Amino acid sequence: MNRREQQTLATTIWQSKKGIAIPITFLVMFVSLTLLVCTTYFFAIDRISSESSLLKVSAAKKGMFSFENSVASVTWSPGSSQIYYFGNYEGILTTAPEDKRLVINVTDGSFSDIVFNSTIGSVTYTLPASSAQNEDFYPKGDSRVIVNQSASTMTQLHILMDTESQRIELSYRPLASSSLISSDNGKPVNNIRIYIVNLNSSQPFTFQGNFYVKVACINITCTTRSYNFTDQITNLSVKSILDGVSGTVRLPISSSEEGAIVDLEVVACNVQLQRTGV
């Protein structure tokens, strides 16, 4: 083969390779573009799903806040009631009257007296698990199981997270206070009052979707006890064990050398939750 024939053959081979390279280039570009579109699509779907879950949690949280406001509007007002409408946040509402056992004990170190021992109930709204919330926290209230400041709320609105669901739980903790009211034969007479919001007379139910709940204050009960101290004391401890978690507050007591008298009142507001078709 002469030189001219060799050049012609080389040109033919190069043109042949060039012709093959063009469709291969387009194929690579098409595959790359397809992968990019698919990645963007799945990313967008995941982002939309995440934002949708966040909106559901936000809406459910607002719904539970509004529901708690309905409960607050009837507490301490016997005979009052309100109908609350639950929107569909794609979750499940559960009332548990037998939940949250509360035990209250009064002591000064030398004696101990259990003044309350009963369940007080809770309400839980359960949503599917979501990356929108990754830790437990209290939108209202905190983890203390008893408080003694009048400015503190008795409400515990708690968001809990696990691998399968996130729950918005509503329950109540006791509030204790003390005051000097009079004197008797040289002994100061003190009053200790422990307030409790009790949901254990509620109807147990589980519902999802749109529904109505009737919130009613049935009555307010008060149990009293009196303690006569012959020695001078400065405070009494009120210990609360709520759902297995302990907490204690110390209440100041006025006393003289003769001692002190302490009248204790446990005041419970009994609130009933019922499913209604109204």
pLDDT tens, 213-251?
999 999 999 999 999 999 999 999 999 999 999 999 999
Give, in order, the Cα–Cα distances in Å from 195 to each of 190, 223, 266, 267, 268: 16, 11, 6, 5, 6
pLDDT greater than 90 at residue 85: yes
Q: Is the pTM of this model over 0.85?
A: no
pLDDT greater than 70 at residue 54: no
Give 115-125 pLDDT, tens digit per residue.
999 999 999 99
Q: How many residues does the chain have?
A: 278
- The pLDDT value recorded for residue 127 is 86
- The pLDDT value recorded for residue 162 is 75
Residue 166 lies in a domain: yes
Q: Where are the beta strands (DSSP E) in the chain?
A: 81-86, 92-96, 101-107, 112-119, 122-128, 137-140, 155-161, 165-172, 175-184, 187-198, 206-208, 211-229, 235-242, 245-252, 260-276
- The pLDDT value recorded for residue 147 is 97
Residue 30 lies in a domain: no
- Of the candidates 194, 197, 196, which has an alpha carbon nearest to the alpha carbon of residue 272? 197
Comparison of pLDDT for 175 and 51, the residue scoring more? 175
- The pLDDT value recorded for residue 262 is 97
SS3 225: strand
Pairing type for strands 206-208 and 92-96 reads antiparallel
Residue 255 lies in a domain: yes
* Other Cβ atoms within 10 Å of 93 Cβ, number: 24
Which residues form the domain of 77?
Answer: 51-276
Distance of CA 46 to the CA centre of its chain: 27
pLDDT greater than 50 at residue 41: no
Give, in order, the Cα–Cα distances in Å from 86 to each of 36, 99, 133, 186, 223: 42, 22, 22, 57, 35
- Domains contained in the chain, number: 1
- The pLDDT value recorded for residue 100 is 96
Residue 10 lies in a domain: no
pLDDT greater than 80 at residue 183: yes
Residue 27 lies in a domain: no
Residue 34 lies in a domain: no
